[in-house]
């Protein structure tokens, strides 16, 4: 991917690295941590995020091989650059015991099937619903924000054993969820590194 990095972003990363040493993180973990911190100007994400390099490597390969990207809300999709996303929230309806966000996840699962990257930055109920499905994801970026259900849904994601990026606190949101996916999207593949 040919991406022109704006000088403001270069300076932002320079200042971030001057305030926080991220050199001990493995390559893709570092990319995700730095991009999330950059998106939120919140250094605490360095110790709040939870992920494994092995999961990120597999997700990176799947993403660059064209795996679908599903988002819980259009705001997450708007933050993901240079990649089409699937968001079914406009088609979803709430019902007894089912939020619109959860229904949208069901609809998206029916559409994309296994192997997708799921990016959830808004609704804990979307993440909870995803965990009930046999989605077989390439990765779940589970970073919903809020005081009700966010911490619990992210803990359930980590306990599920699915390949994931999550965080421990109530923090999260559309911008950081999109940033985590963009970190993988922007990071070159081995073929691109040779160019």
List Cβ neighbours of 129 (8 Å cut-off, separation of 6 or more): 101, 102, 103, 105, 106
Rounded Cα–Cα distance for residues 15 and 10 (Å): 9
List Cβ neighbours of 80 (8 Å cut-off, separation of 6 or more): 69, 71, 119, 178, 181, 182, 185
pLDDT at site 118 = 98
Rounded Cα–Cα distance for residues 49 and 143 (Å): 9
What's the whole-number average pLDDT of the chain?
94
Q: Is 195 a residue whose pLDDT tops 60?
A: no
- Quick one: which of 155, 175, 164, 167 has its CA closest to 135? 164
Structure-token match 């109530």, residue found: 170
pLDDT at site 188 = 84
Rounded Cα–Cα distance for residues 1 and 101 (Å): 32
Specify the higher pLDDT residue, 45 or 12: 45
Q: Is 81 a residue whose pLDDT tops 90?
A: no
Catalytic residues: 38
pLDDT at site 119 = 98
pLDDT at site 194 = 41
User: Phi and psi at residue 52, in whole multiples of 5°?
Assistant: -120, 150
CA atoms within 13 A on the CB side of 109: 18
Q: What is the pLDDT of residues 124-134, one digit of tens each?
A: 999 999 999 99
């Amino acid at each position: 991917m040919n991406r022109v990095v704006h000088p403001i972003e270069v300076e932002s990363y320079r200042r971030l690295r001057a305030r926080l040493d991220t050199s001990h993180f493995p390559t893709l973990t570092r990319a995700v941590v730095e991009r999330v911190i950059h998106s939120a100007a919140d250094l605490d994400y360095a110790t709040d995020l939870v992920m494994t390099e092995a999961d990120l490597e597999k997700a990176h390969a799947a993403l660059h091989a064209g795996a679908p990207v599903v988002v819980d809300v259009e705001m997450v999709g708007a933050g993901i650059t240079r990649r089409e996303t699937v968001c079914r929230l406009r088609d979803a309806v709430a019902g007894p015991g089912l939020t619109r966000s959860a229904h949208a996840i069901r609809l998206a699962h029916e559409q994309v099937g296994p192997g997708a990257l799921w990016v959830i930055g808004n609704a804990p109920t979307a993440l909870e619903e995803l965990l009930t499905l046999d989605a077989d994801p390439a990765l779940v970026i589970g970073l919903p924000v809020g005081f009700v259900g966010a911490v619990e849904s992210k803990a359930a994601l980590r306990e599920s054993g699915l390949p994931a990026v999550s965080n421990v606190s109530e923090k999260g949101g559309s911008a950081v969820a999109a940033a985590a996916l963009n970190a993988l999207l922007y990071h070159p593949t081995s073929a691109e590194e040779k160019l």
